[in-house]
Amino acid sequence: MGIVVPKVSKAESRHGTIALALKSITDPFTSTMIDAARAFQKHSPYPFDLVVHGTATETDVEGQIRIVENLIAQRVSAIVLAPAHSTALIPAVNESIKRGIITLTIDNPLDQDASNVDGMRIPFVGPDNLRGAKLIGNYLAQRLHGGDHVGIVEGVPSDRNAQQRTAGFTDEMKAAHVEIVAVEAGDWEYAKGKRAAAAILARRPEIRALLCGNDNMAMGAVDAVRDARKTGSVLITGYNNSDAIKPLLKNGRVLATVDQFAAKQAVYGIDVALQALLQQRRQEDLSAFIETPVALVTRGNA
């Protein structure tokens, strides 16, 4: 079941209802998006109603599909979706668009090839995940040597952002002649990330680094490395620049992370939807990709 996040206040809705449909409500990245969305609504010169829904876990795909279906039934004006799966959400999104609801994605894009089958234009408002992964991969590569072995703890393998980050890590490791000897899915979660990292360490004890697809999994990797008594000998990278990762950057247990500005993704996404409603634009009039920034974060600028 989806989780409805209680509203702080309800705007005088003269410009429709925008729904923010997110993944795990308990994830700090999601919480940042919610806070930013509410602040944007509060200060917007164009009053609109904001409803926020999310799933209990990162991988509750069926729950998120039900959320979108319920929003369609409620006839909201626009849906800003952070997909829990890059292909499974496509039918629900397709139905939303057919019903005349402005629909776009943030954080994780839908699979372009699969969505193009139905001729849909589903805008993605978010970062270039490949570029972000290359930033951190290059930074790590400068601290490795040709022939070193590394592992990747990736997010949900079916998610486009997970695929793009793994591709970026892979490109930079290949360029540095560093060998990726293991890839394990941590599904964006701390506990699963810890298990994935532990499995890699047990199977390939010689690895010099673990590249993690987000900070939750990086924190799990830190604990797996500690349990394996390899703290200081295995470099760890994250992705998101969550508040929880900052102490680990400061004490050196995490080498670096990437800030993909969760707040900006939420605000940009809602603003694109709001402007479409104000200007009475159609789905096909929207830009396919509105890029938000990424930045490398290390101990020196954490």
182 and 236 together in one domain: yes
145 and 121 together in one domain: no
Whether 121 maps to a domain, the answer reads yes
111 and 149 together in one domain: no
DSSP codes joined into one string, 154-186: ES-TTSHHHHHHHHHHHHHHHHTT-EEEEEEE-
152 and 219 together in one domain: yes
pLDDT digits (tens, 9 = 90+) for 45-68: 999 999 999 999 999 999 999 999
195 and 279 together in one domain: no
Count of domains for the chain:
2
Cβ-count burial 223-237 (b if 16+ within 10 Å, e if not): bbbeebeeeeebbbb
Residue 118 has pLDDT above 80, yes or no: no
> CA 8, CA 292: separation in Å to the nearest integer?
27
Query: What CATH code is carried by the domain that includes residue 158?
Result: 3.40.50.2300
Whether 135 maps to a domain, the answer reads yes
The lowest-confidence range among 4-18, 87-101, 263-277 is: 4-18
Q: Are 98 and 267 in contact (CB under 8 A)?
A: no
114 and 42 together in one domain: yes
Whether 297 maps to a domain, the answer reads no
165 and 253 together in one domain: yes
Q: Taking all residues of the chain, what is their mean pLDDT, rounded to a whole number?
A: 94
- Per-residue pLDDT averaged across 139-155, rounded? 98
Spell out the residues 6+ positions from residue 253 whose beta carbon is closer than 8 angstroms to its own: 222, 225, 231, 236
141 and 251 together in one domain: yes
82 and 174 together in one domain: no
pLDDT digits (tens, 9 = 90+) for 171-207: 999 999 999 999 999 999 999 999 999 999 999 999 9
Q: Are 102 and 122 in contact (CB under 8 A)?
A: no
> CA 281, CA 131: separation in Å to the nearest integer?
30
Q: Domain residues for 177?
A: 129-259
pLDDT of residue 11: 42
Q: Are 283 and 95 in contact (CB under 8 A)?
A: no
